Amino acid sequence: MSGRTVVVVGAVNVDLVVAAPRLPGPGETVVGGGVSRHAGGKGANAAVAAARAGADVRLVGAVGADEHGRTSLAELVADGVDPRHVAVLDDVPTGVALIVVDAAGENQIAVGAGANAAVSAAHVRAALDDALPAAGCVLVSTEITPAAVAAAVERAAAAKVPCVLNPAPVIDVVGELLRYGPILTPNASECAHLARLVGARSPAQGPVPAGARALVEHTGAPVIVTLGGDGAVVLGPDGAAEPVPPSPATVRDTTGAGDTFNGVLAARLADGDQMAVAVRLASVAAALSVGRVGARAGMPTAEQIAEAAGG
Ligand code: RIB
């Protein structure tokens, strides 16, 4: 891929994964099988997905000055991600996610934010001032501080670089950032939640999930609603809805599927693809990613994406 750089702003975690027959309910203990350690964090995962898809990628975030942090940086470098803007912070641990994956590949995640909660707006601004001149797309996710998320979206808008904002999880500041016109990539429940947050509602209509039309009216940009095993829907600023069919998938672990989608979407947009093409390839990549346990284990290369997409 010869496109411009993808700049990802988001979290870096270490994932501790327990495979269990089913997810525990509140207050319940479920005894599972093996425990495994995987590289994680929505930002770092998306950065790796974009790099495997062929993009030059810089990640902006933070880890602690600990063993988890050192391993996380080494894994990013091994996947071709440039970590020069990942701060190594004293006195805070690297983020950790505790994940249970059930027999159907569904998951439950609790995150100890650690260094991700110390990513400052000043750090993001300085990193983006350095990285944006070469950037074709900025991808932001919301597991870091609201101030850092806001700084990333504002800086991308000021530089007129397309910005994909993955509101996972939905945090209040996202509502204030819609005026900068980010390309939103919520799932269906995040879409409805975000629309409610800004006091705008639009009912589900045909393939268009509840809230999506209201969000397009706020951003003036495409909203891409991911639907898991049902594919995705792209709603354009002109109101046209384009369903993207699901790709066949062998589901072992859905952790990181959304990150794969976002990373590949950003990579393809940075390379100049039309939105519909980029979303289709991102959807194919996400389907491939769920075939192995661990957020990044199943993330495909550009060649694997092209082959699965039929060319
Ligand atoms: O999206 C999956 C990711 O969410 C995991 O890797 C975990 O670290 C949490 O951040």
CA-CA distance, 215 to 191, in Å (whole number)?
Answer: 8
Dump strand ranges (E) for 70-125: 81-89, 95-101, 107-112
DSSP 8-state secondary structure symbol assigned to residue 192: H
Sequence-distant (6+) residues with CB within 8 A of 240 are none
**Does 36 reside within a domain?**
no
The residue annotated as part of the active site, out of 90, 259, 271, 273, is: 259
Token pair 């994680």: residue? 40
User: Listing from the earlier edge strand, what are the strands of the sheet with 5-9?
Assistant: 81-89, 57-64, 5-9, 135-141, 163-166, 183-184, 223-226, 232-235, 241-244
Q: How far is the CA of 43 from the centre of ligand 1 (A)?
A: 8
Neighbour count for residue 229 (Cβ, 10 Å): 12
- β-bridge pairing 135-141 and 5-9: parallel
Tell me what pLDDT residue 1 has: 47
Candidates 13, 48, 68, 260: which one to mutate for ligand 1, based on the most atoms within 8 Å of Cβ? 13
Q: What is residue 163's predicted lDDT score, i.e. its pLDDT?
A: 98
Structural domain count of the chain: 1
94 CA to middle of ligand 1, Å?
A: 13
Whether 60 maps to a domain, the answer reads yes
Tokens for 178? Answer: 């819609």
Question: If you measure from the C-alpha of residue 42 to the centroid of ligand 1, how many angstroms do you get, rounded to a whole number?
Answer: 5
Which is the closest atom of ligand 1 to the Cα of 15? 8
Q: Pocket around ligand 1: residues whose beta carbon is below 6 Å from it?
A: 11, 13, 15, 40-42, 45, 97, 109, 111, 143, 255-256, 258-259, 295
Asked, for residue 20, whether it belongs to a domain, the answer is: no
Q: Is 108 exposed, middle or buried (0-12, 13-18, 19+ CB in 10 A)?
A: middle
292, part of any domain: yes
| Residue nearest ligand 1's atom 2 by CA | 256
Give the whole-angstrom CA distance, residue 89 versus residue 94: 9
3-state helix, strand, coil split of the chain in percent (to 5) is: 40, 25, 35
Q: Atom 9 of ligand 1 has which residue's CA nearest to it?
A: 41
**Which pairing describes strands 81-89 and 232-235: parallel, antiparallel, or unpaired?**
unpaired
Q: Pocket of ligand 1, candidates 8, 14, 15, 119: which has the most ligand atoms within 8 Å of its Cβ, to mutate?
A: 15
User: How does strand 35-40 pair with strand 13-19?
Assistant: antiparallel
Ligand 1 closest atom vs CA 296: 6
> What is the distance between the alpha carbons of residues 301 and 267, in angstroms, rounded to a whole number?
12
Contact 235, 223 (CB under 8 A): yes
Residue at 244 is within a domain: yes
Residue 180 lies in a domain: yes
- Dig out the tokens for 16 from the structure: 């501790």
- Euclidean distance between CA atoms 94 and 116, whole angstroms: 8
Residue 89: beta bridge partners?
Answer: 64
Whether 260 and 297 have beta carbons less than 8 Å apart is answered as: no
Please state, in angstroms and rounded to a whole number, the distance separating the CA atoms of residues 98 and 35.
Answer: 10
Q: Average pLDDT per run of 10 along the chain, which is 311 residues long?
A: 82 96 95 92 98 98 98 98 98 97 92 98 98 97 97 98 96 96 97 94 92 96 95 95 92 94 98 96 96 95 96 63
3-state secondary structure of 27: coil
Which residue's CA is the closest to the ligand 1 atom numbered 7? Answer: 41
Instruction: Give CA–CA dist 303/311, Å, rounded.
Output: 9
Q: Determine the distance separating the centroid of ligand 1 and the alpha carbon of 108, expressed in angstroms.
A: 10
Q: Ligand 1 centroid to 213 CA: how many Å?
A: 28
- The reply to whether 220 falls in a domain is yes
Ligand 1, atom 6: closest residue by C-alpha: 40
pTM: 0.96
Q: Which of 18, 100, 109 maximizes ligand 1 atoms within 8 Å of its Cβ, making it the mutation to test the pocket?
A: 109
Per the structure, the complete domain to which residue 286 belongs is given by 5-12+41-94+113-308
Question: Is 66 among the residues known to form the active site?
Answer: no
- Cα of 206 vs centre of ligand 1, distance in Å, is 31
Q: Determine the Cα–Cα distance for residues 248 and 113; give it in Å rounded to an integer.
A: 34
User: Residue 271 maps to which CATH number?
Assistant: 3.40.1190.20
Is 19 within the bounds of a domain? no
Tokens describing residue 175: 């509502």
